[in-house]
């Protein structure tokens, strides 16, 4: 050990001398041009300017502050689905509790269905051009017809005492005026009566609506369907930013009591616990349900395919009412059809049983009966491990053609086999991925209730990250589901999959910290990039233990609350003692990218002969050789002092070094000393703006290799390049930076020394097809 | 919500990515178009034959030929103001995307690069086709859509 220190001392000496010469040169230059000053533009600068100040509502640690509050909106709703006329009618009573310290003059209610009203402005923000040809149906729809009217018909807005309340509708937002201000701590109860025409989601789009089958039956998946309270919070006041169709929601928590009247032969499931199972289930169904509650491995059919197909012929005109209660949810949705097959199984989460449920028309088979419910169960297990135990009683995956959308306890998922029952790998993995993703949304944002309208990445990015973990888990639990693959082929998550996006030209990129509606490449910006960033933190920067603990801490702190981006960023640091400001700044607040390479490798030899640098220094300081302590000198290969025979000189031949060792160490100690014979100065460069750890594989002449890892903070003082001195017993043959492609390095042409001519993706493929 | 999948809903994002790299030493413009298989299949079915299957056991050699045929109609390149022949090399599937490899040969010098990419625009009004161009010196992204399906890069 001491030997290395001794050599290192010589190096320090050498570098002192070099910086001395540098200072002189700088002084000369300064006389000619005066440089301007600058603000702190260090990549490791703390994010005081970007972050909102911590306060009594939100603490600097990232936890809810002592005065944190959130509003509560409780709903009692009576709904009726008219299958014949394709309408939905509702009467809802909202009890709104003002837990904020402010007195409220009015309330804002969201009317999402108005995005489908005839006078909706949503189509107006889409650029459009002339098309040489158009499909006849869309031509008629766009230019000749009146268009479908799917907006809300608000019939009345009334005070609980029965009188009408004044209201103003501004597109998808309705302001309701109260007789007097709603004081802090008070409640206000009012009711809204409404109806609307249900849209055909397959042909007209939308995340809610019906699919019509060839036999005339419809499967309804109904969501964002009722006037919903907007969020009032310490960060936004009223979040009444309009709904344009693509963006999602900000919703307060509340308790729901809902009755849904549908045709008597429909099968229905919804957010919340069914209150009148005996009225709506047959005896057989109840027995099967009891069996399902005890089945942890295989789903139990509540309604079989044969039964669903038989029911499809009925078209009952009688009605049936399903009654539900849901506690502490932020939204409500349901699915209803007589064509639904229904299966369930139990899954143990902590010390509680949760029901994993699937509903699908026969069109979904054989894929859906095989995998949907198992995917739901497996997702709940993975997410519960990464965050908190799933707090609700059930999670339902409903098959709706072309949909992928989440609501509390229930979601719509695509993945439809061809009519002959066969399906491609793409359809299968599409279905697997979407079920895991949408069931996963129960955690983000249904429970960790971030503001989706403002920050798409907070739920989509975090959820896509956990989705990656859950997909990998699923592949391990059900290898037969992914065969012949041995690892689940996740689309989003691995670092190298984000390179295409992050290397795009800058005028087409936006930082993640941009409102979702205003980004160019929404999927990459709000889903893949944040998910990949978290994956890099977990695997490369923090390590799994620190990351997982902190991520879990965030989820638990903000469970059933409304977090902001800062709450997430702060918690990740607070719980791990890893300063991540450089990462948030680079990955979330900027469009910088990662590019790190090895610039050059200099080889040095040891000698007892004084080299030029020391000679020059002695001269300039008027020193004699006797003024110096015993020194060992390093000479760069190819430099002025370099002599060919140095290549064969061993450190044992350097007399002052050898004397020192003999005088200070016992023979036993000497035998344990390392004998470095090769000395290198490796310069790493960083053309990219995001600091990352330097990970390098060093391969030696004897074929062995070693991985070195320097923390990202190595870039703290010099953002452009950094040197590393290595003393080695073996000769270095090659160095490869980021060998496992774990940092999203956008340009790997500078990652190797000596420079490797790497075959690009294109030539690789070309070679392959040529055979 | 789950974006970038084939969905006919309002929140579906119709995007393809085409990477174009000019390698002067090989006098070659190397092109990789990444298109959602689902979207392409739907388009080919509507345009040519409802029985076309992509990336499934049912895919036939003639199904694969439709891709080539379609691309030759929808993707056009001018080099130094002259139309050039785009050679089809092959395709491979990666998750839900089909990667189509094409090449323009004998490009001694690239002064201007003009690309028209109308892929899937005949099917989806909102289709956007992103071009990532790269040579030794620059990287440039272009966004093509129904309004502007064409773009020119001046590389002098």
Q: Which of B4, B5, B6, B9 to mutate to test the interface with A (most CBs of A within 10 A)?
A: B9
pLDDT of residue B11: 37
Together in a domain, A516 and A550? yes
The pLDDT assigned to A26 comes to 56
Shortest distance, CA A519 to any CA of chain B (angstroms): 12
- What are B114's strand-pairing partners? B78, B152
Is the same domain home to A588 and A617?
no
Q: What value does the mean pLDDT of chain A take? A: 91
Could A426 and B93 be called an inter-chain contact, meaning their C-beta atoms sit closer than 8 Å?
Answer: yes
- Closest by CA to A568, choosing from A58, A42, A72, A67, is A58
Residue B152 in contact with partner chain A when CB distance is under 8 A: no
Q: Are A329 and A290 in contact (CB under 8 A)?
A: no
Last residue of a domain, one of A560, A592, A624: A592
Q: Is residue A436 part of a domain?
A: no
Q: Is B32 in CB contact (< 8 Å) with chain A?
A: yes
Contacts of A221 in chain B (CB under 8 A): none
| Window 66-95 of B, Cβ < 8 Å to A | 89-90, 92-93, 95
pLDDT band at residue A245, thresholds of 50, 70 and 90? confident
CB contact under 8 A, B95 and A422: no
Is A580 among the domain residues? yes
Question: What digits encode the pLDDT tens for the residues B104-147?
Answer: 999 999 999 999 999 999 998 888 898 999 998 888 888 898 88
Report, as an integer, the average pLDDT of A194-202: 94
Instruction: Give the number of other Cβ atoms within 10 Å of residue A638's Cβ.
Output: 8
* Binary contact (A248, B1; C-beta < 8 A): yes
- Choose the closest CB to B13 out of A405, A426, A522: A522
Is the pLDDT at A239 greater than 90? The verdict is yes
What pLDDT is attached to residue A46?
Answer: 96
- Specify the pairing of strand A352-360 against strand A394-399: parallel
> Could you tell me the pLDDT band of residue A146, with boundaries at 50, 70 and 90?
low
Handedness of CA A407, A408, A412, A415 (dihedral sign): positive
**Cβ A245–B90 below 8 Å, yes or no?**
no
Q: Are residues A578 and A674 in the same domain?
A: no
A613 shares a domain with A573: no
Residue A171: count other Cβ atoms within 10 Å of its Cβ.
Answer: 17
- Give the least confident one: A85-89, A134-138, A419-423, A424-428: A134-138
Q: Is B7 on the interface with A (CB under 8 A)?
A: yes
pLDDT band at A124 (very low <50, low <70, confident <90, very high): low
Q: Are residues A724 and A683 in the same domain?
A: yes
- Between A and B, how many CB-CB pairs are < 8 A? 132
Contact B7 A246 (CB under 8 A): no
> With contacts defined as CB-CB under 8 Å, which chain B residues touch A422?
56-58
Residues 109-148 of B with CB under 8 A from A: 122, 125-126, 130, 132, 139-141, 143, 145-147
**pLDDT tops 60 at residue B5:** no
Q: Is B45 on the interface with A (CB under 8 A)?
A: no
Flag if B147 and A761 touch (Cβ within 8 Å).
no
Question: A765 and A672, same structural domain?
Answer: yes
pLDDT over 70 at A276, yes or no: yes
Substitution target from A442, A520, A521 for chain B, most B beta carbons within 10 A: A521
Q: Identify the band that residue B9 occupies on the pLDDT scale cut at 50, 70 and 90.
A: very low
Contact flag B1-A129 (C-beta cutoff 8 Å) = no
Within this chain, do residues A584 and A638 fall inside the same structural domain, yes or no?
no
Q: What is the extent of the structural domain holding A729?
A: 593-771
In a domain, A78, yes or no: no
Q: What is the arithmetic mean of pLDDT over A561-579?
A: 98
Q: Which residues of chain A does B38 touch, with a Cβ-Cβ cutoff of 8 Å?
A: 426, 430
Q: Which pair of structure tokens corresponds to residue A185?
A: 């701590």
Q: Are A731 and A685 members of one domain? A: yes
Nearest to A503 among B95, B96, B139 (CB): B139
Pick from A485-489, A541-545, A635-639 the range whose average pLDDT is largest: A541-545
Is A26 part of any domain? no
Q: Is residue A12 part of a domain?
A: no
Which distant-in-sequence residues (6+ apart) come within 8 Å of A144 by Cβ?
Answer: none
* Cα–Cα distance, A393 to A355 (Å, whole number): 6
Is A257 exposed, middle or buried (CB count within 10 Å of its CB: 0-12, 13-18, 19+)? middle
Does residue A604 share a domain with residue A587? no
Gap from B88 CA to chain A (nearest CA, Å): 11
- B125/A138 touch (CB, cutoff 8 Å), yes or no: yes
Q: Is residue A407 part of a domain?
A: no
Least confident of A298-312, A382-396, A659-673, A688-702: A659-673
How many CA atoms does the CB half-sphere of A176 hold within 13 Å?
A: 25
Q: Which of A592, A616, A631 is the last residue of a domain?
A: A592
C-alpha closest to that of A339 among A320, A356, A314: A314
Q: What is the pLDDT of residue A1?
A: 43
Query: Do B5 and A500 lie within an 8 Å CB cutoff?
Result: no
Question: Which tokens hold the place of A761?
Answer: 């993706």
Q: How far is B114 from chain A (nearest CA, A)?
A: 17
**Closest residue, chain A, to B15 (C-alpha):** A521
Comparing CA positions, the residue from A536, A508, A503, A533 lying closest to residue A522 is A508
Mention every residue, 6+ apart, whose C-beta is less than 8 A from residue A644.
Answer: none
Please check whether residues A512 and A554 belong to one and the same domain: yes
Contacts of A115 in chain B (CB under 8 A): 10
A760–B21 CB contact, under 8 Å = yes
Contact A769 B125 (CB under 8 A): no
Are residues B9 and A402, on separate chains, in Cβ contact within 8 Å?
yes
pLDDT at residue A771 in the model: 66
For the residues B7-33, what does the mean pLDDT come to? 79
Contact residues on chain A for B58, CB-CB shorter than 8 A: 418, 422
Chain A residues inside the 8 Å CB shell of B145: 127, 129
Q: Rounded to a whole number, what is the distance in Å from the CA of B106 to chain A's nearest CA?
A: 16
Average pLDDT (A463-467) is: 96
Chain B positions touching A460 (Cβ under 8 A) are: 1
Q: Which of A424, A430, A490, A529 should we substitute to test contact with B (largest number of B Cβ atoms within 10 Å)?
A: A424
Long-range CB pairs of A105-108, under 8 A, 24+ apart, other chains included: A105/A177, A105/A178, A105/A181, A106/A175, A106/A176, A106/A177, A106/A178, A107/A175, A107/A176, A107/A178, A107/A182, A107/A188, A107/A229, A107/A230, A108/A173, A108/A174, A108/A175, A108/A176, A108/A229, A108/A230, A108/A232, A108/A238, A108/A240
pLDDT at position A626 = 83
Is residue A247 predicted with pLDDT exceeding 50?
A: yes
pLDDT class of A193 with cuts at 50, 70, 90: very high
Cβ neighbours of A761 in B, within 8 Å:
32
Q: Minimal Cα distance from A129: which residue of B?
A: B147
Contacting residues of A for B147, CB less than 8 Å apart: 127-129
Q: Domain total for chain A?
A: 2
Q: Are residues A601 and A743 in the same domain?
A: yes
Is residue A318 scored above 80 in pLDDT? yes
Task: State residue A126's pLDDT score.
Answer: 54
Residues of A in contact with B1 (CB under 8 A): 207, 248, 404-406, 460
pLDDT digits (tens, 9 = 90+) for A497-539: 899 889 887 887 899 999 877 777 778 888 999 999 999 999 9
Contact residues on chain A for B103, CB-CB shorter than 8 A: 762, 766
Assigned domain for A680 exists: yes
pLDDT tens profile B84-110: 999 999 999 987 889 999 999 999 999
User: Between chains, do A523 and B13 touch, taking CB under 8 Å as contact?
Assistant: yes
Segment A16-63, tens digit of pLDDT: 444 444 455 555 555 677 889 999 999 999 999 999 999 999 999 999
Q: Which two tokens stand for residue A12?
A: 């320090």
B104 vs A contacts (CB less than 8 Å): none
Between B95 and A393, residue with greater pLDDT? A393
Please check the confidence at residue A275 and state whether its pLDDT lies above 70.
Answer: yes
Residue, of A205 and A433, whose pLDDT is higher: A433
Q: Is the pLDDT of residue A150 over 90?
A: no
Nearest-CB residue to A201 (from B9, B57, B125): B9
pLDDT digits (tens, 9 = 90+) for A724-756: 999 999 999 999 999 999 999 999 989 999 987
pLDDT over 90 at A119, yes or no: no
**Closest Cα in chain A to B92:** A765
Q: Is the pLDDT of residue A549 over 50?
A: yes
Would you say A560 and A545 are in contact if contact means Cβ atoms under 8 Å apart?
Answer: no
Distance from CA of A541 to the nearest CA of B (A): 28
Nearest to A403 among B9, B19, B54 (CB): B9
Write the residue in B54, B95, B140 that is nearest to A489 by C-beta: B95
Question: pTM score, two decimals?
Answer: 0.88
Contacts of residue A54, Cβ cutoff 8 Å, sequence gap at least 6: A60, A65, A570
Residue A363 belongs to a domain: no
The secondary structure element, H or E, covering residue A336 is strand A334-337
* Per-residue pLDDT tens digits for A376-390: 999 999 999 999 999
The helix (run of H) or strand (run of E) holding residue A685 is strand A678-685
* CB contact (8 A) between residue B6 and residue A523: no
**B37, B58, B130 member nearest A426 (Cβ):** B37
Is the pLDDT at A9 greater than 80? The verdict is no
Q: Mind listing the pLDDT tens digit for each residue in A83-110?
A: 999 999 999 999 999 999 999 999 999 9
Residue B6: is its pLDDT beyond 50? Answer: no
Phi and psi at residue A648, to the nearest 5°: -100, 0
Q: Tell if the CB–CB gap between B140 and A505 is shorter than 8 Å.
A: yes
Give residue A140's pLDDT: 57
By the CB < 8 Å criterion, does B105 face chain A?
Answer: no
The CATH number of the domain holding residue A486 is 1.10.390.10
One domain for residues A524 and A610? no
| pLDDT digit string, tens, across residues A339-379 | 999 999 999 999 999 999 999 999 999 999 999 999 999 99
């Amino acid at each position: 050990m001491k030997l290395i220190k001794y050599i290192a001392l010589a190096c320090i000496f050498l570098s002192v001398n070099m910086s001395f010469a540098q200072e002189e040169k700088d002084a000369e230059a300064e006389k000619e041009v005066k440089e301007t000053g600058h603000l702190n533009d260090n990549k490791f600068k703390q994010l005081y300017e970007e972050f909102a100040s911590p306060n009594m509502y939100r603490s600097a640690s990232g936890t809810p502050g002592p005065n944190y509050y959130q509003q509560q909106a409780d709903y009692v709703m009576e709904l009726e689905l008219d299958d014949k006329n394709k309408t939905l009618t509702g009467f809802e009573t909202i009890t709104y509790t003002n837990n904020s310290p402010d007195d409220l003059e009015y309330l804002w209610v969201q009317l999402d269905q108005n995005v489908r009203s005839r006078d909706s402005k949503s189509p107006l923000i889409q650029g459009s051009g002339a098309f040489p040809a158009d499909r006849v149906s869309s031509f008629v729809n766009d230019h000749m017809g009146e268009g479908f009217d799917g907006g809300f018909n608000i019939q009345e807005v009334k005070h609980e005492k029965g009188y009408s309340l004044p209201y103003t509708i501004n597109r998808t937002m309705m302001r309701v005026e109260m007789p007097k201000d709603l004081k802090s701590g008070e409640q206000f109860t009012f009711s809204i009566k409404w109806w609307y025409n249900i849209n055909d989601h397959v042909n007209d789009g939308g995340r809610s609506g019906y699919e019509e089958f060839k036999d005339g039956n419809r499967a309804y998946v109904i969501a964002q369907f009722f006037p919903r309270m907007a969020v009032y919070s310490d960060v936004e006041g009223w979040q009444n930013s309009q709904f344009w169709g693509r963006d999602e929601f900000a919703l307060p928590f509340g308790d729901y009591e809902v009755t849904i009247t549908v045709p008597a032969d429909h099968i229905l499931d919804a957010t919340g616990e069914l209150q009148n199972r005996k009225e709506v289930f047959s005896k057989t169904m109840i027995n099967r349900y009891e069996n399902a509650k005890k089945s942890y491995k295989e789903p139990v059919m509540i309604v079989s395919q044969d039964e669903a197909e038989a029911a499809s012929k009925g078209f009952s005109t009688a009605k049936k009412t399903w009654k539900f209660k849901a506690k502490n949810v932020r939204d409500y949705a349901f699915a209803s059809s007589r064509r639904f097959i229904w299966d369930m199984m139990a899954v143990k989460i902590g010390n509680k049983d949760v029901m994993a449920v699937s509903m699908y028309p026969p069109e979904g088979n054989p894929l859906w009966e095989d995998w949907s419910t198992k995917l739901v169960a497996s997702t709940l297990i993975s997410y519960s491990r990464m965050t908190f135990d799933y707090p609700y009683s059930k999670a339902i995956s409903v098959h709706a053609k072309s949909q992928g959308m989440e609501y509390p306890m229930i979601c719509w998922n695509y993945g439809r086999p061809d009519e002959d029952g066969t399906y491609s790998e793409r359809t299968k993995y599409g279905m697997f991925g979407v079920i895991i993703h949408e069931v996963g949304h129960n955690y983000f944002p249904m429970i960790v209730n971030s503001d989706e309208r403002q920050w798409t990445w907070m739920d989509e990015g975090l959820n896509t990250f956990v989705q990656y973990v859950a997909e990998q888990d699923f592949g391990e639990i059900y290898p037969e589901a992914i065969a012949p693959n041995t690892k689940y082929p996740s689309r989003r998550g691995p670092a190298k999959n984000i390179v295409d996006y992050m290397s795009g030209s800058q005028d087409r990129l936006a930082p993640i910290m941009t409102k979702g509606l205003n980004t160019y490449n929404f999927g990459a910006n709000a889903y893949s990039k944040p998910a990949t960033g978290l994956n890099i933190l977990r695997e490369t920067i923090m390590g799994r233990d620190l990351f997982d603990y902190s991520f879990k801490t965030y989820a638990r702190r903000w469970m059933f609350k409304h977090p902001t981006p800062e709450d997430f960023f702060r918690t990740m640091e607070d719980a791990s003692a890893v300063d991540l400001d450089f990462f948030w700044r680079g990955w979330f607040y900027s469009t910088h990218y990662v590019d790190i390479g090895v610039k050059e490798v200099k080889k040095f030899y040891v000698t007892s002969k004084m080299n030029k640098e020391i000679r020059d220094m002695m001269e300039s300081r008027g020193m004699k050789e006797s003024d110096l302590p015993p020194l060992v000198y390093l000479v760069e290969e190819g430099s002025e002092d370099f002599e060919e025979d140095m290549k064969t000189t061993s450190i044992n031949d350097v007399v002052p070094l050898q004397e020192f060792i003999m005088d200070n160490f016992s023979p036993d100690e000497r035998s344990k000393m390392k004998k470095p014979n090769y000395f290198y100065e490796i310069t790493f460069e960083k053309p990219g703006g995001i600091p990352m750890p330097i990970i390098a594989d060093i391969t030696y002449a004897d074929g062995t290799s070693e991985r070195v890892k320097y923390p990202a903070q190595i870039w703290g003082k010099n953002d452009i390049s950094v040197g590393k001195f290595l003393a080695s017993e073996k000769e270095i043959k090659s160095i490869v930076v980021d060998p496992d492609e774990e940092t999203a390095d956008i340009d790997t042409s500078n990652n190797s020394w000596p420079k490797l001519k790497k075959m690009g993706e294109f030539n690789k493929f070309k070679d392959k097809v040529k055979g | 919500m789950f974006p970038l999948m084939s969905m006919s809903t309002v929140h579906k994002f119709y995007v393809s990515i085409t990477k174009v790299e000019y390698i002067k030493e090989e006098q070659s413009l190397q092109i990789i178009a990444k298109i959602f298989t689902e979207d392409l299949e739907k388009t080919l079915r509507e345009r040519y034959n409802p029985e076309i299957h992509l990336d499934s056991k049912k895919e036939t050699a003639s199904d694969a030929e439709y891709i080539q045929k379609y691309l030759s109609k929808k993707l056009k390149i001018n080099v130094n103001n002259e139309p050039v022949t785009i050679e089809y090399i092959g395709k491979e599937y990666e998750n839900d995307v089909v990667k189509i490899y094409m090449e323009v040969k004998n490009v001694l010098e690239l002064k201007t690069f003009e690309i028209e990419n109308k892929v899937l625009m005949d099917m989806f009004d909102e289709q956007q086709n992103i071009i990532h161009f790269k040579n030794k010196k620059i990287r440039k992204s272009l966004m093509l859509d129904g309004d502007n399906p064409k773009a020119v890069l001046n590389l002098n």
